[in-house]
Structure 1
Protein backbone atom coordinates (compact mmCIF):
# COMPACT_ATOMS: atom_id res chain seq x y z
CA UNK A 1 0.00 0.00 0.00
CA UNK A 2 1.31 3.36 -0.94
CA UNK A 3 1.08 5.77 1.96
CA UNK A 4 0.94 9.46 1.27
CA UNK A 5 3.01 11.75 3.42
CA UNK A 6 2.61 15.47 3.67
CA UNK A 7 0.04 17.18 1.49
CA UNK A 8 -1.91 14.57 -0.52
CA UNK A 9 -1.88 16.58 -3.74
CA UNK A 10 1.86 17.34 -3.62
CA UNK A 11 2.71 14.37 -5.83
CA UNK A 12 0.24 15.59 -8.44
CA UNK A 13 1.53 19.10 -8.99
CA UNK A 14 3.15 18.12 -12.28
CA UNK A 15 -0.22 17.10 -13.64
CA UNK A 16 -2.15 20.01 -12.23
CA UNK A 17 0.21 22.41 -13.98
CA UNK A 18 1.52 20.62 -17.08
CA UNK A 19 4.37 22.09 -18.97
CA UNK A 20 3.21 24.09 -21.94
CA UNK A 21 4.30 22.54 -25.19
CA UNK A 22 3.77 24.42 -28.40
CA UNK A 23 1.33 22.40 -30.46
CA UNK A 24 1.02 23.21 -34.13
CA UNK A 25 -2.56 24.31 -34.92
CA UNK A 26 -3.09 21.44 -37.34
CA UNK A 27 -2.00 18.89 -34.70
CA UNK A 28 -4.10 20.47 -31.98
CA UNK A 29 -7.21 20.18 -34.11
CA UNK A 30 -6.71 16.42 -34.56
CA UNK A 31 -5.73 15.53 -30.98
CA UNK A 32 -7.06 16.10 -27.52
CA UNK A 33 -5.24 18.69 -25.43
CA UNK A 34 -3.88 16.13 -22.95
CA UNK A 35 -2.12 14.05 -25.61
CA UNK A 36 1.29 15.54 -24.81
CA UNK A 37 0.89 14.48 -21.17
CA UNK A 38 -0.91 11.20 -21.86
CA UNK A 39 1.77 8.94 -20.38
CA UNK A 40 2.05 11.08 -17.25
CA UNK A 41 -1.74 10.90 -16.79
CA UNK A 42 -1.71 7.13 -17.31
CA UNK A 43 1.13 6.68 -14.81
CA UNK A 44 -0.66 8.81 -12.23
CA UNK A 45 -3.90 6.89 -12.73
CA UNK A 46 -2.04 3.60 -12.23
CA UNK A 47 -0.73 4.92 -8.90
CA UNK A 48 -4.26 5.99 -7.94
CA UNK A 49 -5.54 2.50 -8.80
CA UNK A 50 -2.91 1.05 -6.48
CA UNK A 51 -3.94 3.42 -3.72
CA UNK A 52 -7.60 2.40 -4.17
CA UNK A 53 -6.66 -1.29 -3.95
CA UNK A 54 -4.69 -0.44 -0.81
CA UNK A 55 -7.77 1.12 0.75
CA UNK A 56 -9.73 -2.06 0.03
CA UNK A 57 -6.95 -4.06 1.71
CA UNK A 58 -7.02 -1.74 4.70
CA UNK A 59 -10.72 -2.41 5.14
CA UNK A 60 -10.23 -6.17 4.67
CA UNK A 61 -7.48 -6.03 7.31
CA UNK A 62 -9.73 -3.96 9.60
CA UNK A 63 -7.32 -1.03 9.87
CA UNK A 64 -8.09 2.06 11.92
CA UNK A 65 -10.90 4.22 10.47
CA UNK A 66 -8.90 7.46 10.45
CA UNK A 67 -6.04 5.81 8.57
CA UNK A 68 -8.49 4.63 5.91
CA UNK A 69 -10.08 8.07 5.69
CA UNK A 70 -6.63 9.63 5.29
CA UNK A 71 -5.93 7.36 2.32
CA UNK A 72 -9.35 8.12 0.80
CA UNK A 73 -8.50 11.82 1.09
CA UNK A 74 -5.21 11.22 -0.70
CA UNK A 75 -6.94 9.37 -3.55
CA UNK A 76 -9.59 12.07 -3.80
CA UNK A 77 -6.92 14.79 -3.97
CA UNK A 78 -5.01 12.83 -6.61
CA UNK A 79 -8.12 12.43 -8.77
CA UNK A 80 -8.94 16.12 -8.37
CA UNK A 81 -5.43 16.96 -9.51
CA UNK A 82 -5.83 14.81 -12.63
CA UNK A 83 -9.20 16.44 -13.31
CA UNK A 84 -7.75 19.94 -12.96
CA UNK A 85 -4.90 19.06 -15.30
CA UNK A 86 -7.32 17.71 -17.90
CA UNK A 87 -9.51 20.78 -17.55
CA UNK A 88 -6.51 23.07 -18.03
CA UNK A 89 -5.41 21.09 -21.08
CA UNK A 90 -8.95 21.30 -22.47
CA UNK A 91 -9.06 25.06 -22.01
CA UNK A 92 -5.58 25.61 -23.45
CA UNK A 93 -6.13 23.44 -26.50
CA UNK A 94 -9.71 22.55 -27.36
CA UNK A 95 -11.37 25.79 -26.26
CA UNK A 96 -8.60 28.02 -27.64
CA UNK A 97 -8.66 26.20 -30.99
CA UNK A 98 -12.45 26.49 -31.18
CA UNK A 99 -12.27 30.19 -30.29
CA UNK A 100 -9.84 30.72 -33.17
CA UNK A 101 -12.33 29.09 -35.52
CA UNK A 102 -15.19 31.10 -34.03
CA UNK A 103 -18.88 30.66 -34.72
CA UNK A 104 -20.99 27.96 -33.08
CA UNK A 105 -18.04 25.61 -32.43
CA UNK A 106 -16.49 28.15 -30.05
CA UNK A 107 -19.78 28.62 -28.21
CA UNK A 108 -20.21 24.84 -27.88
CA UNK A 109 -16.70 24.37 -26.40
CA UNK A 110 -17.33 27.18 -23.92
CA UNK A 111 -20.64 25.54 -22.90
CA UNK A 112 -18.87 22.19 -22.48
CA UNK A 113 -16.10 23.72 -20.37
CA UNK A 114 -18.59 25.62 -18.24
CA UNK A 115 -20.63 22.44 -17.62
CA UNK A 116 -17.46 20.49 -16.74
CA UNK A 117 -16.41 23.17 -14.25
CA UNK A 118 -19.90 23.16 -12.72
CA UNK A 119 -19.74 19.37 -12.25
CA UNK A 120 -16.27 19.59 -10.79
CA UNK A 121 -17.05 22.21 -8.13
CA UNK A 122 -20.15 20.45 -6.75
Structure 2
Protein backbone atom coordinates (compact mmCIF):
# COMPACT_ATOMS: atom_id res chain seq x y z
CA UNK A 1 0.00 0.00 0.00
CA UNK A 2 1.69 3.18 -1.20
CA UNK A 3 0.58 6.49 0.26
CA UNK A 4 -0.32 9.33 -2.02
CA UNK A 5 -0.48 12.25 0.38
CA UNK A 6 -2.17 15.32 -1.00
CA UNK A 7 -0.37 18.61 -0.42
CA UNK A 8 -2.39 19.71 2.63
CA UNK A 9 -2.09 16.31 4.33
CA UNK A 10 1.60 16.10 3.53
CA UNK A 11 2.22 19.62 4.77
CA UNK A 12 0.50 18.90 8.09
CA UNK A 13 2.45 15.67 8.61
CA UNK A 14 5.75 17.32 7.75
CA UNK A 15 5.00 20.20 10.13
CA UNK A 16 4.36 17.74 12.95
CA UNK A 17 7.58 15.87 12.18
CA UNK A 18 9.59 19.09 12.06
CA UNK A 19 8.07 20.15 15.38
CA UNK A 20 9.07 16.79 16.89
CA UNK A 21 12.55 17.17 15.42
CA UNK A 22 12.88 20.55 17.12
CA UNK A 23 11.59 19.17 20.40
CA UNK A 24 14.05 16.28 20.29
CA UNK A 25 16.90 18.72 19.60
CA UNK A 26 15.67 20.70 22.58
CA UNK A 27 15.67 17.59 24.77
CA UNK A 28 19.26 16.81 23.78
CA UNK A 29 20.30 20.37 24.54
CA UNK A 30 18.47 20.30 27.89
CA UNK A 31 20.26 17.10 28.92
CA UNK A 32 23.63 18.52 27.86
CA UNK A 33 22.91 21.64 29.95
CA UNK A 34 21.92 19.57 32.97
CA UNK A 35 18.35 20.90 33.07
CA UNK A 36 15.70 19.71 35.49
CA UNK A 37 14.52 16.13 34.91
CA UNK A 38 10.84 17.15 34.96
CA UNK A 39 11.39 19.71 32.19
CA UNK A 40 13.27 17.17 30.07
CA UNK A 41 10.52 14.55 30.47
CA UNK A 42 7.84 17.12 29.60
CA UNK A 43 9.62 18.00 26.34
CA UNK A 44 10.26 14.34 25.56
CA UNK A 45 6.57 13.54 26.05
CA UNK A 46 5.62 16.39 23.71
CA UNK A 47 7.97 15.06 21.03
CA UNK A 48 6.52 11.58 21.44
CA UNK A 49 2.96 12.90 21.03
CA UNK A 50 3.97 14.83 17.90
CA UNK A 51 5.47 11.67 16.37
CA UNK A 52 2.39 9.64 17.30
CA UNK A 53 0.07 12.20 15.75
CA UNK A 54 2.11 12.24 12.54
CA UNK A 55 1.97 8.45 12.39
CA UNK A 56 -1.78 8.39 12.98
CA UNK A 57 -2.29 11.01 10.28
CA UNK A 58 -0.33 8.90 7.82
CA UNK A 59 -2.30 5.77 8.74
CA UNK A 60 -5.63 7.62 8.50
CA UNK A 61 -4.73 8.91 5.04
CA UNK A 62 -3.71 5.41 4.00
CA UNK A 63 -6.98 3.98 5.28
CA UNK A 64 -8.98 6.57 3.41
CA UNK A 65 -7.12 5.80 0.19
CA UNK A 66 -7.51 2.04 0.67
CA UNK A 67 -11.25 2.32 1.22
CA UNK A 68 -11.62 4.60 -1.78
CA UNK A 69 -9.60 2.19 -3.95
CA UNK A 70 -11.58 -0.81 -2.79
CA UNK A 71 -14.92 0.93 -3.36
CA UNK A 72 -13.94 1.92 -6.87
CA UNK A 73 -12.61 -1.55 -7.64
CA UNK A 74 -9.07 -0.32 -8.20
CA UNK A 75 -7.56 -2.29 -5.34
CA UNK A 76 -4.49 -4.39 -6.02
CA UNK A 77 -4.31 -8.15 -5.57
CA UNK A 78 -4.20 -7.89 -1.78
CA UNK A 79 -7.21 -9.52 -0.12
CA UNK A 80 -9.34 -7.71 2.43
CA UNK A 81 -8.01 -9.99 5.19
CA UNK A 82 -4.39 -9.30 4.23
CA UNK A 83 -5.05 -5.57 4.14
CA UNK A 84 -6.81 -5.69 7.51
CA UNK A 85 -3.86 -7.59 9.03
CA UNK A 86 -1.36 -5.05 7.69
CA UNK A 87 -3.38 -2.09 8.93
CA UNK A 88 -3.85 -3.69 12.34
CA UNK A 89 -0.09 -4.18 12.57
CA UNK A 90 0.47 -0.51 11.71
CA UNK A 91 -1.97 0.66 14.38
CA UNK A 92 -0.41 -1.60 16.99
CA UNK A 93 3.07 -0.34 16.14
CA UNK A 94 1.99 3.14 17.28
CA UNK A 95 0.12 1.96 20.38
TM score, norm. by length of structure 2:
0.79
Equivalent residue for 2:51, pick from 79, 93, 110: 79
| Structure 2: runs of 5+ lacking an equivalent | none
Runs of 4 or more consecutive aligned structure 1 residues displaced over 3 Å after TM superposition: none
Contact 2:31-2:40 within 8 A present in 1 as well: yes
2:12 is matched with 40
Which segment drifts farther, 100-109 or 36-45? 100-109
Q: How far apart are residue 40 of structure 1 and its match? A: 2.0
2:30 is matched with 58
| Structure 1: runs of 5+ lacking an equivalent | 1-30
Equivalent residue for 2:78, pick from 97, 105, 108: 105
Q: CA RMSD in A?
A: 2.4
Could you give the per-residue CA deviations for residues 43-93 of structure 1, whole angstroms, max 9, x where no partner exists? 221121111101000000000000000001111111111111111111111
Note closer, same or farther for the CA distance 1:106–1:97 as it changes in structure 2 (3 Å cut): farther
Note closer, same or farther for the CA distance 1:56–1:103 as it changes in structure 2 (3 Å cut): closer
Task: Give the number of aligned pairs.
Answer: 92
TM score, norm. by length of structure 1:
0.64
